[in-house]
Amino acid sequence: MRLPQKSRAALAYLVLIVPSALIVLGFLWLFITSFSTRTEGLRSLGWTLRNWSFLWESPFGPQYPSIWWVTLNTLVMSLVMTLIVVVVSSMTAYALSRMKFTGRKSFLSLTLILHAFPSVTLLIPIYFVLIWVSKIPVIGRGVPLLGGLGYNTIGGVALVMVAFQLPFGIWVMKGFFDNISWDMERSALIDGASRFRVWWQIMMPNIKPGIAALSIFSFITAWNAYLIPLTFTAGRAGKSAVLSLYLQNFISESVMTEWNAVAAVGLFQLIPVVIFFLFTQQVLLNIYGGGKKGGV
Amino acid sequence: MKIVFKHLCKYFGRVKAVDNLNLEVGDGEFVALLGPSGCGKTTILLMIAGIYKPSKGFIYFDQRVINDVSPKDRKIGMVFQSYALYPHMTVFNNIAYPLKLKKVPRKETKERVQKVADMMGIGELLDRKPAQLSGGQQQRVALARALIKEPEILLLDEPLSNLDARLRIMMRSELKRLQKDLGITTVFVTHDQLEALTMADKVAVVNSGYLQQFSGPDELYNHPKNLFVAGFIGSPPINFISVSLQKSDGRFLLKNRDLQIELAKEIGLKAENNSTSSEILLGIRPEHITINKKEGIETEVYVVEPLGRDILVSVKLGKSMIKVFASPSFKANIGDRVKLNFNLDKIMLFDKKSEKSLLLDKD
Amino acid sequence: MKRRKQSEERGIFPLSNSLKTRNWNFSRLQGRLAPYAFLSPALIVITLFFFIPLVMVFVLSFTNLDMTNFGILEWWRPANWSLDNYVKIFTNRFFPKILGNTLIYVALTLAFFNVGMALIIALITTHISRGAGFAFRALWLLPRITPVVVYIMMWKALAGPAPMGIINNYLLGPLGIGRGEYLLNTSPWVFVILVNGFIGASFGMILFSSAIEAIPKEYSTASKVDGATTWQTIRYIVLPMIKWPLLFVTTYQTLSLLTSFEQIMLLTDGGPGLYQTEVWALTAYHRALTSYFGNIQWGYGSAWAVVLVVIGVIMAIIYLRVFKFGELVEEPKIDRL
């Protein structure tokens, strides 16, 4: 029953190539469909640009925000979330990796538990927390651009995503800090730097690969986010809508879903990520680069 | 500035890295901390720097206890074994960093950096990044960065270990000269006894957290306090021969199956008084044995290693191996019978149990 | 003589001197507080979005808070607490179905993709040319970085009925399998597993391939010289050496799969039939946060969630014990003065 060496190798390649082909086909379909009136499989039954008309006119009527407003929302949310995640996780990771303080071990175990903890199970109570935050004056609902930090605001959604991303971020950053030589930090302390300066002027410039990896990862996560914006904003095409919701809205609003138009919007959301990804994949594949020592 | 350690201890969990260290480094002295790797000598240096906090005991700078003074307030400069240059800064910014933190005006910073860089011979390299420098250049940058603050104490952690052999010999004399010119109290750590002996005014030999001996290079070499120091200092290492001390008719004899040596009376008396039993170790350095073919202790040549200036002969005496320096004119082949004569003024005697030297005056 | 010298030194350096410098001063205080300053932003976020919610989800699960009594019911009062929700879960007609679904979903996705496929990709891509290996790995990262709504849309197109659907058109049609139906209706489970598996495989893939690349080449060369086949090399050299990443991915991904429901929600939303692909986490979400049956039941939904929370906490603690403890104990090499 033993297969010859060659055919077993062939079988292995088949197992890799067939599913890989599915991914390629899916993306090809997305591309072809968005420029077609109709498709059968990958065959276009007529080319058109009409599917892309959402770029210049709102498909739901003028009372709804345009795609550009939604894109701006998504961009702001993603950038804010990325910035906070990177700054807060690197501060926390620095303290955990490099400083002695009472409670260090417990805090370390805590982040590790949170890293594995399924945060989505907490969506229900977080809904209430956000409603409370909404009631705080100014920061609740009065921040320009973000809307605020409470329920149904860009800032609120960003904040929840920060929370969900933070344990991962801390863990990734700690891996990178752990690998920096102690002598360099000692040397900076002897030169007269405070711990804060050491963190900012000496450590941060030396973990750029880690910062890059975490930033890219966080940005893509935020840009793609669906569940959290869906849960914590009201109305899918409202002022605080993001691209994922806008797209989902497209699918369910129209009685007869116009798949070609949906594909165009989907591609619109996907293209920046893919371009971004192509330029940064090397960095992204190394996200655990810092933590190699621990195996993970 | 004077550095004094009093009952200094440092524990890492249950490991005693430094145990009850008492030591005084005088103002302007060049002191080496010498010991095998992992013996706690770098820990001592880091405690002086304020990176590690002593578990017990005190460190004084002059009259002041500095246990709790933060590193930046200690007026120290330190060069690390890895040099610990900041890879993202140019050489100029590396050297200027301590001044930048002190908010020294730009113009003054520039002048001072240029001055110290010229002194170290790296004035042309200020625009480079550390990665573009050779090991020797990196070390000079690290030294310049340590010196620019005009520290009162200079700490060097294995300053020569990352350099190649030629550069090491050159830097050895240069560092020594620099220290004498600047007159800064300097403590350096090394595992290389040659480095310690050649550079330092005084050497502290440390092993497994304990101070073994603290004295000048000459004293250390010729009058080691114990077995560890005697064995650690000197290359090729000292020969140890297990013997028993016997007294007959008022004569003191060192005897074992293969040899018999008569001791001078005062040496014999001292050894007898200090020893706890008759089982002792005879120590003698290779250069204090002469080799010939006529008279002396009978041995057999094991191997001959020419070193150029002289030759190193290993001979077998019973079960033990003894190394002897001989002049290049001495000719011998493996298996030849040769005879040894010990220079009795230079022998050392150690108690087998306590490992202490038997020839020192009791405290 | 030495003794006299010692006592002299004591006179020069009196103890009171040392006490003076041990007093609290500003820079010392700053040193003590600095770590907590670094930690405080994370602490605020964690308190707000983990601690408080964790307590709340337990409290809520004992109440019958829903849309009709919101604002009226004082859910924080123990008087209003009961175990009714839990009784309701376990006596639910669909409880066995949902439990079964969850187990099937987690076990099959994990076995075939998150570990199985991940391992296959890692093994193959580390043994072909660097460029090709990299391209394959990048391709398999695509599903993870594609916006989930777009990604699901793609799968719906792949699964579409005969003239449009890609799988029907190019795979099943030519092979003469099936009659070209909408595959999401005929075999929803296959697609639930495929959709999640294609995303999940990349996590293991990254960890496994870097672990395999870290194995010194001499080992596999030596084993080949010894006459081992490729399969034997993998079985006796590679797999034992990536034991820890394998174990880590398995446990970690079990937990992620157990609580992930986003893709299923968008793909089948638990359908196509009644509860056909409804998993535990999706049920919790449906009860508490979507008006599935016209009523949002926060209390009841929380009870469903609590079961997952408890499993999550237990597994996270086990995972902590197994994997990282050695690294946690490592002490910083700079003392606080």
- Please tell me the number of Cα atoms within 13 Å of C271 on its side-chain side: 11
C28 strand-pairing partners: none
Tell whether A102 and A29 lie within a shared domain. Answer: no
Res A287: pLDDT: 62
Whether residue A296 and residue C207 make contact (CB cut-off 8 A), yes or no, is yes
A16 and A139 in a common domain? no
Answer whether A190 sits within 8 Å of B97, measured CB to CB.
Answer: no
Q: Tell me, yes or no, if B60 comes closer than 8 A to chain C by beta carbon.
A: yes
Is A27's CB within 8 Å of C142's CB? Answer: yes
- Which residue is closest to B146 within chain A, CA to CA? A191
| Tens of pLDDT, residues A43-57 | 777 777 777 777 777
What pLDDT score does C6 carry? 43
Note whether C28 contacts B64, CB cutoff 8 Å.
no
Q: Residue A167 in contact with residue A117, Cβ under 8 Å?
A: yes
Burial class of residue B106 (count of CB atoms within 10 Å of its CB; 0-12, 13-18, 19+):
exposed
Are the beta carbons of B97 and A191 separated by less than 8 Å? yes
Question: Which of A185, A189, A191, A211 to mutate to probe the B interface, most B CBs <10 Å?
Answer: A191
Average pLDDT along chain C = 76
Note whether A130 and A246 are same-domain residues: yes
Whether the per-residue pLDDT at C118 is higher than 50: the answer is yes
User: Using the beta-carbon criterion (under 8 Å), do A95 and C39 form an inter-chain contact?
Assistant: yes
Nearest to A229 by CA among A74, A53, A79, A68: A74
User: Which DSSP category does C295 fall into?
Assistant: -
Is there a single domain that holds both residue A165 and residue A32?
no
Which residues of chain A does B82 touch, with a Cβ-Cβ cutoff of 8 Å?
181, 183
- Determine the 3-state secondary structure of A21 from DSSP: helix
Is C21's pLDDT higher than 60? no
pLDDT of residue C26: 66
Predicted ipTM of the assembly: 0.85
Is residue A186 in a domain? yes
- Asked if B84 lies within 8 A of A183 by C-beta distance, the reply is yes
C-beta atoms of C35 and A160 within 8 A: no
Chain C: list its partners (3+ Cβ pairs within 8 Å): A, B
Give the whole-number percent of chain A exceeding pLDDT 90: 11
CB A250 within 8 A of CB A43: no
Mean pLDDT of C19-46: 75
- What's the gap in Å between the CA of C201 and the closest CA on chain B? 37
pLDDT digits (tens, 9 = 90+) for A116-171: 777 777 887 888 888 888 787 766 666 666 677 777 777 888 888 898 889 888 98
CA–CA separation, A56 and A185 (whole Å): 54
Per-residue model confidence (pLDDT) at position B238: 92
Q: List the one residue out of A163, A174, A175, A189 whose CA is nearest residue A92.
A: A174
What's the confidence (pLDDT) of residue A140?
Answer: 66
Percent with pLDDT over 70 in chain A: 80
Residues B83-135 pLDDT 10s: 999 999 999 999 999 999 989 999 999 999 999 999 888 989 999 999 999 88
The pLDDT assigned to A237 comes to: 56
The pLDDT tens digits for B33-46 are: 998 887 888 899 99
pLDDT higher than threshold 80 for residue C28: no
The mean pLDDT value for C306-322 works out to 79
Q: Kind of pairing, strands B202-207 and B185-190? A: unpaired
Asked if A22 reaches chain C (Cβ–Cβ under 8 Å), the answer is yes
Residue A222 lies in a domain: yes
Task: Report the neighbours of A using a cutoff of 3 or more CB pairs below 8 angstroms.
Answer: B, C
**Same domain, residue pair A217 and A243:** yes
Partners of residue A181 in chain B, C-beta under 8 Å: 82, 84
Task: Name the C residues in 2-31 with CB < 8 Å from any B CB.
Answer: 2, 9, 12-13, 17-18, 21-22, 27-28, 31
In this complex, the residue of B46, B76, B101 whose CB is nearest that of residue A193 is: B101
Tell me which DSSP letter residue A55 carries.
G
Domain boundaries, chain C: 95-277
Residue A110: how many CB atoms within 10 A of its CB?
21
**B53 touching chain C per CB within 8 A:** yes
Q: Name the residue among B4, B60, B68 with its Cβ closest to that of C28.
A: B68
Band of pLDDT at residue C19, cut at 50, 70 and 90: very low
- Which residues, other chains included, contact B250 with Cβ-Cβ below 8 Å and sequence gap of 6+? B265
pLDDT tens profile A188-218: 999 988 889 999 999 999 988 888 888 888 8
Do the strands B260-263 and B337-342 form a parallel or antiparallel pair, or are they unpaired? unpaired
Using the predicted structure, report yes or no on whether residue A174 has a pLDDT greater than 80: yes
The predicted pLDDT at position A288 comes to 56
Is there a contact between B325 and B310 (Cβ–Cβ < 8 Å)? yes
- Lowest-confidence pick of B74-78, B126-130, C7-11, C203-207: C7-11
Residue A276, amino acid:
F
Tell whether A170 and A238 lie within a shared domain: yes
Q: What's the rounded Cα separation, in Å, for the pair A146 and A76?
A: 8
Residue C9 pLDDT: 41
A174 falls within a domain:
yes
Distance CA A152, CA A149 (A): 9
Give me the domain span that covers residue A35: 5-48
pLDDT given for residue C72 in this prediction: 65
Asked if the model's pLDDT at residue C29 lies above 80, the reply is no
First to last CA, chain B: 29
Nearest CA in chain A to B85: A184
CA distance A120 to A164: 8
Query: Count of CB atoms within 10 A of residue C217's CB?
Result: 8
pLDDT digits (tens, 9 = 90+) for C50-72: 888 888 888 888 887 776 676 66
- Are A130 and A41 within one domain? no
User: Domain with A202 in it: what CATH number?
Assistant: 1.10.3720.10
| Shared-domain flag, residues A38 and A71 | no
Residue found by looking up tokens 């973990």 in the block: A207
Rounded Cα distance between B349 and B244, Å, is: 11
Joined together, the tokens standing for residue B206 give 């440390």
Q: How far is CA B24 from the centre of its chain?
A: 16
The confidence score (pLDDT) of residue C27 equals: 66
Instruction: Return the pLDDT at B29.
Output: 92
Whether chain A has a CB inside 8 Å of the CB on B153: the answer is no
Judge if A26 and A72 occupy the same domain. Answer: no
What's the confidence (pLDDT) of residue B265? Answer: 83
The Cα A109–Cα A54 span in angstroms is 49
Percentage of chain C lying above the pLDDT 70 cut: 81
C255 to chain A, any CB pair closer than 8 A? The answer is: yes
Q: Is A234 helix (H, G, I), strand (E, B) or coil?
A: coil
**Residues of chain C contacting residue A288, judged by C-beta atoms under 8 Å apart:** 206-207, 210
Identify the segments of chain B with pLDDT beneath 70. Answer: 361-363
Cα B34 from Cα B233, distance rounded (Å): 10
Residue C7 pLDDT > 70, yes or no? no
Nearest residue of C to residue A217 by CA position?
C145
Confidence of residue C24 (pLDDT cuts 50, 70, 90): low
In this complex, the chains that touch B, judged by 3 or more CB pairs closer than 8 A, are A, C
Q: Phi/psi of residue C66, each to 5°?
A: -145, -170
* C-alpha atoms less than 13 angstroms from C-alpha of C173 in its C-beta half-sphere: 16
**From 1.10.560.10, 1.10.3720.10, 3.20.20.140, 3.90.226.10, which CATH number describes the C95-277 domain?**
1.10.3720.10
Helices (H), ranges, chain B: 41-49, 91-101, 106-120, 135-147, 165-182, 193-199, 217-222, 227-232, 265-274
In a domain, A96, yes or no: yes
Query: Which residue out of B68, B157, B363 would a mutagenesis test of the C interface target, given it has the greatest number of C Cβ atoms within 10 Å?
Result: B68
Residue A245 and residue A147 in one domain = yes
| Residues in C touching A124 (Cβ below 8 Å) | 53, 57, 60, 284, 288-289, 298, 301-302, 305
Mean pLDDT of chain A: 79
pLDDT at C3 over 50: no
DSSP codes, C204-252: HHHHHHHHHHHS-HHHHHHHHHTT--HHHHIIIIIHHHTHHHHHHHHHH
| CA-to-CA dists, residue C195 to A183, C190, C269, angstroms | 48, 9, 13
Strongest mean pLDDT among A177-181, A291-295, B107-111, B289-293: B107-111
Nearest residue of chain A to residue C53 (CA atoms): A125
Best B55, B74, B75, B78 member to test A by mutation, with max A CBs in 10 Å, is B78
Q: Does A29 touch chain C (CB under 8 A)?
A: yes
Q: What is the pLDDT of residue C73?
A: 67
Percent of chain C residues topping a pLDDT of 90? 2
Beta carbons within 8 Å of C150's beta carbon, 6+ residues apart: A30, A247, A266, A267, A269, A270
Q: Is there a single domain that holds both residue A67 and residue A44? A: no
Total CB pairs under 8 A between chain A and C? 296
Calculate the alpha carbon distances from C302 to B256, C61, C78, C285 in Å.
88, 5, 16, 9
Whether A290 maps to a domain, the answer reads no
Q: Residue B72 and residue A181: Cβ atoms within 8 Å?
A: no
Give the integer Cα–Cα distance in Å for B288 and B284.
7
Is residue A240 scored above 70 in pLDDT? no
B334 shares contact with chain A (CB less than 8 Å) = no
pLDDT at C173: 67
CB spacing of C13 vs B53 below 8 angstroms = no
DSSP letter (8 states) at residue A257? -
B145/A191 CB distance under 8 A: yes
Domain check: are A133 and A108 in the same one? Answer: yes
Q: Is the pLDDT of residue C101 over 90?
A: no
Backbone Cα Rg of chain B: 25
Cis peptide preceding B237, ω within 30 of 0: no
Number of folded domains in chain A? 2
Distance from CA of A285 to the nearest CA of B (A): 24
In B, residues 172-231, which contact A (CB 8 Å cutoff)?
A: none
Which residue from A260, A37, A21 is spatially nearest to C166, judged by alpha carbons?
Answer: A21
User: Tokens standing for B291?
Assistant: 């080799």
The minimal CB distance from C21 to the residues B51, B53, B69 is found for B69
Distance (Å, rounded) from C-alpha B34 to C-alpha B189? 6
3-state secondary structure of B336: coil
Cα separation, A81 vs B35, whole angstroms: 52
What pLDDT score does A294 carry? 35
